[in-house]
Amino acid sequence: MPTAVSNEERLFSLVLALLATETGLTKADILSSVQGYRQRYRTNGGNASLERQFERDKEDIRDLGVPLESIELPADQGAVQYTRYRIPKGEYDLPADVTFTPQEIALLDLAALAWREGSLSGESRRALLKLRSLGIESEEPLIGFAPRLRARDAAFDPLREAIERRRVVAFGYLKPGEDRVRRRRVAPLALVQFGGRWHVHGIDLAADARRTFLLSRIAGAVEETAQEFDAPGGDPAEEAREGLRAVLAGNRALLELQPDTDAAARLGSRGQAVDGGRVAVHYSDEALFADEVAAFGPEVLVVEPAELVAAVRDRLAAVAAAHGGTDG
């Protein structure tokens, strides 16, 4: 079985190969010789999945600001297999007045380590690819510790990897108000942060429709299946944000906040003052907002809507019941 090569190592090898050539490399040259592709390349064909990977990698390195060129010779017009790719080194070099000290490079490396367990782990590793491909390496040892930040849900990394590989995933999902976890099969299209929380937007295969799922409601592990899918056009991340913004605009709570309290500081800063000293706050998820409001106890009173009033009352009643019969 071929040795697994990380996405970072494959992209790094691709950039180095394209920098090293003046005349350019064809797709066949790249797939058969570059680290991360050659291990899975089949000389007799059957490389469709690998070719799709290369197309996604081209997008990734262009997103990094790499000036990737496609060259077609006049005699090969229209023959895609003869298209050659290269990175003009003069256009990829850092400006002459931009330099880094060994200490600054060490800090960049440390930043990548710090985010390795965080929500930007993939992005942070890629951010160093350009520096390394230009021969900029740290000559200073890293300090003896690196913080480990866990700034995202456990489902984040498996979903990110499934999006990169265009693979369908399966996971359990618990909707608010339900006591049974439902199994979902989703073609994930984008991870989106909205309102301080991570969501995955994709195609729910059972419903054959676009859906946005809150990562914190995913129960158990995300399982990547062998089923591949073709991503539709457009910008799925922006489509997800538009949907979430519409939900946010449609949910409005009217609150009475006790002055000089934590609730007044936190909720008041997110809302808009209305008549009578009340504050109008928009929210995208009733269950999560009810949790948040209930946590402030008597510092906040929900005036409307009735559904939110009932949800907060239920949470406060559950807390009272859980502490019933205790002293004080």
Rounded Cα gap, residues 122 and 143, in angstroms:
22
Tell me, which fold does domain 158-234 have in CATH? SH3 type barrels. (2.30.30)
What is the structure's pLDDT at 3? Answer: 53
Summarised one tens digit per residue, pLDDT across range 170-207 is: 999 998 878 899 999 999 999 988 877 889 999 999 99
Where the chain has pLDDT below 70, the residues are 1-5, 73-80, 89, 91-152, 325-328
pLDDT computed for residue 116 by the predictor: 45
How many whole angstroms separate alpha carbon 32 and alpha carbon 38? 5
Q: What is the pLDDT of residue 117?
A: 43
Predicted pLDDT at 172: 96
Maximum C-alpha span of the chain: 89
Phi then psi for residue 21, to 5 deg, are -105, 140
Instruction: With beta carbons less than 8 A apart as the criterion, state whether 256 and 300 touch.
Output: yes
CA distances from 173 to 68, 162, 220 (A): 41, 17, 9
In this prediction, residue 143 carries a pLDDT of 37
* Rounded Cα–Cα distance for residues 240 and 237 (Å): 5
| pLDDT at res. 80 | 67
pTM exceeding the 0.85 threshold for the entire prediction: no
Q: Which residues pair with residue 71 across a beta bridge?
A: 84
pLDDT in tens, 114-169: 444 444 444 444 445 544 554 544 444 433 333 333 445 788 889 989 998 999 99
Short-list 234, 156, 246, 231, CA closest to 192: 156
